[in-house]
C-alpha cells in the first residue's frame, strides 16, 4: 500500500481522450460528464487536470512517449501495462448491448439464436471481437465507418443488429434527427466495460498518480459530489456502485 501525501499546491496533470459523445464532447463547455468527474476527482487529491481531446492513435503515441501524462478513458488491457499504470478504480462503466428495429421482432432468448442475423461492425472497433466471443466467430458482419453511420444503416435495414454502447446509441437517436429513429429500441445489455484513467510509465510516479486518482474518485463518491455531477449532466452509469477491477 502506498502512502499518499497530497501537495498544498495543485500539480498539473495532462490527460487525453478521444471524442466520446456525450461523455467526452469538445462542444461542451467542460468537455462532458466524464471529464467533469476526472477533473473533480483530481482536484480532491491535489491535481489540476488539463484535459485534451485528441485522435486515439495520437493520444496513445503521446502517452507512450511521455509527452502527456496519460489516457483518461482507457479500457483495461493487460498487455498495455508495459507502458501505462491503470487506476484500480474504474471511473465509468459502459453498457454495451443490442440495438434493433422495433418491427424486426428480434427477441433475445439464447445468444446462439442470434447467429442467423447480420450485425453492424464499426471498422477497427473493439466490440466486434467481444460480439464474436459472445455469439460465434462466424457471425455475418457488415462494416460501417462511424457510429452515426451504423445507426443509419440499422434504420435502413442494411443489417439486423447494432452492438454498441447504450448511452452512445441513444445519444445518436436523440440528437441526430435521423428518419425513423423512433423505430429503434435498445434490446438488452450483453457486456459491461470498465473505463479507467491510465498513467504513462514515463512518469516515475505513475503508480502514485493512479492511486491518488482512485482515492479522489472514492472521495467524491462518498460525499455525494459524484451523484451531483450525474444530475448536472443528466447522465447516469449502469450503476452508481462503479466496481473495482481485480
| Nearest partner of 242 among 92, 19, 131, judged by Cα | 92
Residues 123 and 145 sit within 8 Å (Cβ to Cβ): yes
Question: Per-residue pLDDT for the chain (246 aa), expressed as one digit of tens each?
Answer: 444 555 557 899 999 999 999 999 999 988 999 999 999 999 999 999 999 999 999 999 999 999 999 999 999 999 999 999 999 999 999 999 999 999 999 998 889 999 999 999 999 888 899 999 999 999 999 999 999 999 999 999 999 999 999 999 999 999 999 999 999 999 999 999 999 999 999 999 999 999 999 999 999 999 999 999 999 999 888 654 444 333
Res 126: pLDDT: 82
* Residues pairing with 100 in the sheet: 161, 185
65 vs 199: CA distance, rounded Å: 12
CA 246 to chain centre: 18
Element housing 74 (H / E): strand 70-74
pTM (two decimals): 0.85
Res 246: pLDDT: 33
Res 6: pLDDT: 55
Q: How many DSSP H helices and E strands does the chain contain?
A: 7, 9
What are the DSSP calls for 100-144, one per residue?
EEGGG----S-GGGGGGSEEEEETT-THHHHHHHHS-TT-EEEEE
Res 243: pLDDT: 42
168 vs 21: CA distance, rounded Å: 7
**Domains by residue range for the chain, with CATH:** 12-92+195-233 (3.40.190.10), 94-192 (3.40.190.10)
Residues 161 and 117 sit within 8 Å (Cβ to Cβ): yes
Amino acid at each position: 500500500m502506498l502512502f499518499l501525501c497530497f501537495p498544498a499546491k495543485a500539480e498539473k496533470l495532462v490527460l487525453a481522450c478521444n471524442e466520446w459523445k456525450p461523455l467526452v464532447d469538445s462542444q461542451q463547455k467542460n468537455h462532458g460528464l466524464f471529464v467533469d468527474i476526472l477533473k473533480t476527482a483530481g482536484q480532491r487529491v491535489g491535481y489540476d487536470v488539463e484535459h485534451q481531446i485528441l485522435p486515439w492513435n495520437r493520444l496513445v503515441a503521446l502517452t507512450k512517449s511521455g509527452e502527456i501524462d496519460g489516457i483518461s478513458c482507457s479500457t483495461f488491457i493487460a498487455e498495455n501495462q508495459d507502458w501505462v499504470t491503470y487506476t484500480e478504480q474504474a471511473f465509468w462503466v459502459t453498457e454495451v448491448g443490442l440495438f434493433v428495429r422495433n418491427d424486426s421482432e428480434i427477441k433475445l432468448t439464447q445468444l446462439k439464436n442470434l447467429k442467423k442475423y447480420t450485425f453492424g461492425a464499426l471498422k477497427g472497433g473493439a466490440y466486434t471481437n467481444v460480439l464474436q466471443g459472445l455469439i460465434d466467430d462466424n457471425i455475418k458482419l457488415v462494416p460501417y465507418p462511424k457510429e452515426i453511420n451504423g445507426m443509419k444503416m440499422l434504420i435502413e435495414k442494411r443489417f439486423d443488429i447494432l452492438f454498441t454502447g447504450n448511452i452512445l446509441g441513444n445519444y445518436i437517436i436523440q440528437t441526430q434527427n435521423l428518419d425513423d429513429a423512433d423505430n429503434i429500441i435498445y434490446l438488452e445489455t450483453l457486456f459491461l466495460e470498465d473505463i479507467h484513467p491510465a498513467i504513462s510509465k514515463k512518469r516515475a510516479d505513475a503508480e502514485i498518480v493512479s492511486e491518488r486518482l482512485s482515492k479522489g474518485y472514492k472521495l467524491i463518491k462518498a460525499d455525494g459530489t459524484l451523484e451531483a455531477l450525474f444530475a448536472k449532466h443528466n447522465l447516469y452509469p449502469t450503476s452508481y456502485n462503479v466496481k473495482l477491477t481485480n
